[in-house]
């Protein structure tokens, strides 16, 4: 049970830091990653508890999490190339 709560705390803190990140874009990508890892951890616990839970699905989640992160990094790089900084504040937010 502690593991469940711990992983949910990781997921939610990842979401909250992603939402409240206001300085560096890299920080928000990192918190996104943290959220995905928390979800992976949560899923491994779930698959242990439930009968018939398949562990290999966790690998798919992990794979797609990495895929997402690499897309985020690619966008990040091209953003830095075009804007010169990675501050969230350079976004035109309207």
Cα first-last separation, the chain: 43
Residue 64 and residue 81: Cα distance in Å, rounded? 26
Q: Residue count at the site for other proteins (CB under 8 A)?
A: 37
1 binds other proteins (CB under 8 A): no
* Interface of this chain with other proteins, residues 45 to 84, rule: CB under 8 A: 46, 49-53, 57, 60-61, 64, 67-68, 71-72, 75-76, 78-79, 82-83
Alpha-carbon separation of residue 37 from 30, 67, 69 (angstroms): 11, 13, 11
22 binds other proteins (CB under 8 A): no
9 binds other proteins (CB under 8 A): no
């Amino acid at each position: 049970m502690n593991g469940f709560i711990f992983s949910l705390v990781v997921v939610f803190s990842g979401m909250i830091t992603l939402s409240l990140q206001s300085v560096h874009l890299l920080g928000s990508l990192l918190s996104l990653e943290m959220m995905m890892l928390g979800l992976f951890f949560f899923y491994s616990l779930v698959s242990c508890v439930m009968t018939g839970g398949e562990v290999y699905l966790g690998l798919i989640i992990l794979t797609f999490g990495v895929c997402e992160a690499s897309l985020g990094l690619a966008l990040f790089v091209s953003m830095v190339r075009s804007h010169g900084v990675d501050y969230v504040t350079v976004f035109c937010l309207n």
